[in-house]
């Protein structure tokens, strides 16, 4: 098995933009735009899945789950929520975000600091890679992997070498925005779940600026999630179907997955 290594800084606070300059906070009063949303459709979701990563690729829902002893990567039937195929992680592994690029499925782990590369069609493990930060969310822009580590930084990696190309620091009018969790790249912007909240941030990848924010906090109440599963945790999981322009969201231990329209 091939093991690759890459090194990035895990410093909290300001990151750097593409030119190596620190991002500057937005001007006073330059608030992120508010994104409203509509529920288009509801689907069943495994209430035992502590969702860490969500992806839609080639007509297939791909999910990564967390918790020690429960973590796995899986292919899921959208209509029924049934797990079609899965690969379980070792007991000591806490799985995090997943993304698919060029036929490869990438999975991060939290404090284990090990990532996995699978064949996206078969889920056969092909290689491992190590990193010196925590692993949270991961997405891609079609050329680079983009991942978060709990700080306000987003790291852009070469998928072949897994070395850092550059990074950005994410900020809004209040300063750096950390706790960036599950990520999804949609129409040129990075969408990020903000952990411990039910917010989704829309981030400009060229500057790190949060240009808009969606508050999906009432999604749980509207849909009875808390009544169905008292262990349900925060919103976490964003998947985008570029072929049909659909967006799917869910949360940790949520019994439902939602197709939503973000009005932005």
Q: How many domains does the chain have?
A: 1
Cα dihedral sign for 92, 94, 95, 97? negative
**pLDDT(16) > 80:** no
- Residue-level pLDDT at 30: 82
Token pair for 169: 């620091």
CA triple 253-257-258, angle to 5 deg: 140
**pLDDT(29) > 60:** no
Token pair for 149: 């580590």
- Residue-level pLDDT at 15: 37
48-75 average pLDDT score:
94
Give me the domain span that covers residue 218.
Answer: 2-21+28-263
Give the tens place of pLDDT for each residue, 149-208: 999 999 999 999 998 999 999 999 999 999 999 999 999 999 999 999 999 999 999 999
pLDDT band at 3, cuts 50/70/90?
Answer: very low
Residue for token pair 């999630």: 225
- Residue-level pLDDT at 21: 37
Give the tens place of pLDDT for each residue, 221-258: 777 777 777 788 889 999 999 999 999 999 999 999 99
Percent of the chain with pLDDT over 90: 75
Q: Which residue has the higher pLDDT, 131 or 52?
A: 52
Q: Which residue has the higher pLDDT, 9 or 257?
A: 257
**pLDDT(84) > 80:** yes
116-125 average pLDDT score:
95
**pLDDT(13) > 50:** no
Cα dihedral sign for 182, 185, 186, 188? positive
**pLDDT(97) > 90:** yes
How far is residue 46's CA from residue 254's CA, in Å, rounded to a whole number? 7
CATH number at residue 254: 2.40.128.630
Token pair for 135: 């692993």
H or E segment and range at residue 263 = strand 256-263
- Residue-level pLDDT at 36: 93
């Amino acid at each position: 098995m091939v093991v690759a290594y890459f090194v990035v800084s895990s410093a909290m606070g300001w990151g750097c933009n593409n030119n190596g300059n620190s991002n500057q906070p937005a001007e006073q009063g330059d608030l992120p735009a508010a994104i409203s949303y509509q529920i288009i459709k509801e689907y069943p979701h495994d209430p035992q899945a502590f969702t860490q990563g969500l992806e839609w690729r080639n007509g297939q829902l791909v999910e990564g789950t967390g918790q020690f002893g429960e973590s796995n990567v899986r292919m899921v039937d959208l209509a029924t929520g049934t797990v079609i195929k899965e690969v379980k992680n070792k007991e000591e592994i806490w799985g995090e975000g997943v993304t698919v690029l060029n036929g490869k499925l990438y999975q991060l782990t939290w404090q284990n600091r090990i990532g996995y590369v699978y064949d996206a069609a078969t889920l056969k493990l092909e290689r491992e890679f190590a990193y010196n930060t925590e692993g949270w969310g991961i997405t891609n822009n079609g050329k680079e992997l983009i991942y978060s580590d709990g700080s306000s930084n987003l790291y852009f990696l070469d998928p072949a070498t897994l070395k850092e190309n550059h990074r950005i620091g994410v900020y809004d009018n209040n300063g750096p925005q950390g706790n960036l969790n599950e990520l999804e790249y949609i129409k040129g912007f990075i969408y990020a779940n903000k952990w411990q909240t039910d917010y989704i941030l829309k981030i400009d990848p060229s500057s790190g600026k949060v240009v808009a924010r969606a508050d999906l906090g009432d999604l749980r109440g509207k849909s009875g999630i808390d009544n169905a599963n008292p262990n349900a945790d925060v919103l976490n999981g964003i998947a985008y179907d570029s072929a049909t322009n659909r967006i799917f969201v869910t949360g940790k231990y949520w019994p439902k997955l939602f197709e939503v329209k973000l009005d932005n």
